[in-house]
């Protein structure tokens, strides 16, 4: 049986996000999984996700960090409450703030790996720290303040 | 004669960015212009740029702020040196860091307007502050540290 990603548990009405919605056929459809205490997302950029030829444009890096972090926030909240993902009521997070430091140009040809750790859970907020790697080198660092979405939002 | 945008002056080898390259046929192809001391970019999101239905996903907002800010940084540097855009050597900036505060959900149906001001020019760095509006309401605020690209990068 294949392991389900965090995003596979999103309720249908919140699974349309361009970055992480499994139902958005135009989107990135990222998938995030626990590896121990880290949440990991691997994404293969398309050749047109370019900045300068050969390197990834910053907006994609920001998008991966953003959506991987909100997914990680949801998964962390289930874990903190000792609940299985997919149980009701569903957790879904939106981004309160996003910060990205671009450490070096990110090569475009290989898969990108975003590794996230949960820095803090505080009420309805989860702070997530990420590092994005390409070819094993850290190319960007990010921090997201994710905020639990009201259950009636967007419905 | 139609006014040329900042991005129309980018040298060909740096005009392939997914966010702002006029030569990237898959990309957003944003256009930025001076309006007095503010730089303005108007962008109509596609229906698939959704987060929750009816609202724009954060990665697009981050991308617009990022690319509009690096364009503004280049335009500001020409202005600071009293040079016309398009004169050699060309200025082109990459993003050192990006910060976005999401103030409220950003509606998807109307054009988004990003208004930028230059906060500081310091050597090869330009700090740009942005506000993103939808339906006349500020929905996100951003700050970008843009760094002048070495002239041989990506060539």
* A67 located within any domain: yes
* A132 located within any domain: yes
* A83 located within any domain: yes
pLDDT of residue B152: 65
Domain with B46 in it: 6-148
* B1 located within any domain: no
pLDDT digits (tens), chain B, 155 positions: 578 999 999 999 899 999 999 999 999 999 999 999 999 999 999 999 999 999 999 999 999 999 999 999 999 999 999 999 989 888 899 999 999 999 999 999 999 999 999 999 999 999 999 999 999 999 999 999 999 987 766 54
Name every residue in B having a CB less than 8 A away from some CB of A: 13-14, 16-19, 21, 24-28, 46, 48-55, 57-60, 62-64, 66-67, 94-102, 105, 149, 153-154
Residue with tokens 């030569």: B23
SS (H, E, C) A15-70: CCCCCCCCCCCCCCCCCEEEECCEEEEEECCCCCCECCCCEECHHHHHHHHHHHHH
- Mean pLDDT confidence for A67-72: 98
- Strand runs labelled E in B30-71: 32-35, 38-43
Looking at the structure of chain A, the number of domains it has is 1
Question: How far is A82 from chain B, CA to nearest CA, in Å?
Answer: 27
For the record, the structure tokens of B133 come out as 């509006």
Residue with tokens 């200025």: B91
Q: Which residues contact B63 (CB under 8 A, 6 or more apart)?
A: A57, A58, A59, A60, A62, A63, B18, B19, B28
Q: Do B13 and A46 touch (CB under 8 A)?
A: no
* A47 located within any domain: yes
pLDDT of residue A155: 47
- Res. A33: pLDDT tops 90: yes
In contact, B106 and B112? CB cutoff 8 Å: yes
pLDDT band at A109 (very low <50, low <70, confident <90, very high): very high
Q: Which CATH number fits the domain that encloses residue B111?
A: 3.10.129.10
* Closest listed residue to residue B144, CA positions, set B92, B96, B80, B85: B96
**Continuous segment of H or E residues that includes residue B146:** strand B137-148
pLDDT band at A1 (very low <50, low <70, confident <90, very high): low
* A119 located within any domain: yes
Q: Which residues pair with B128 in a beta bridge?
A: B118, B144
ipTM score: 0.95
**Continuous segment of H or E residues that includes residue A74:** helix A58-80
Q: Measured between alpha carbons, how far is B129 from A36 in angstroms, rounded to an integer?
A: 38
* B29 located within any domain: yes
pLDDT of residue B154: 53
In contact, A116 and A130? CB cutoff 8 Å: yes
Query: Which chain B residues contact residue A98 at CB under 8 A?
Result: 58, 62, 98-100, 102
- Mean pLDDT confidence for A26-32: 98
Q: Which residues contact A82 (CB under 8 A, 6 or more apart)?
A: none
Q: Which residues pair with B114 in a beta bridge?
A: B41, B132
Residue of A nearest to B105 (CA): A94
* A134 located within any domain: yes
């Amino acid at each position: 049986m294949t392991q389900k990603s965090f995003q596979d548990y999103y309720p249908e009405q919140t699974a349309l996000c361009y970055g992480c919605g499994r139902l958005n056929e135009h989107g990135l459809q990222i998938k995030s999984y626990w590896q121990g205490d880290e949440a990991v997302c691997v994404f293969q950029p398309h050749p047109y996700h370019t900045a300068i030829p050969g390197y990834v444009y910053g907006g994609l890096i920001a998008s991966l960090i953003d959506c991987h972090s909100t997914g990680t926030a949801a998964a962390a909240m289930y874990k903190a409450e000792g609940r299985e993902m997919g149980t009701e009521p569903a957790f879904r997070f939106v981004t309160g703030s996003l910060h990205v430091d671009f450490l070096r140009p990110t090569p475009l040809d290989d898969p990108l790996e975003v590794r996230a750790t949960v820095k803090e859970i505080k009420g309805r907020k989860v702070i997530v720290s990420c590092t994005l790697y390409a070819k094993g080198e850290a190319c960007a660092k990010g921090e997201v303040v994710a905020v639990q979405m009201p259950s009636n939002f967007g419905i």
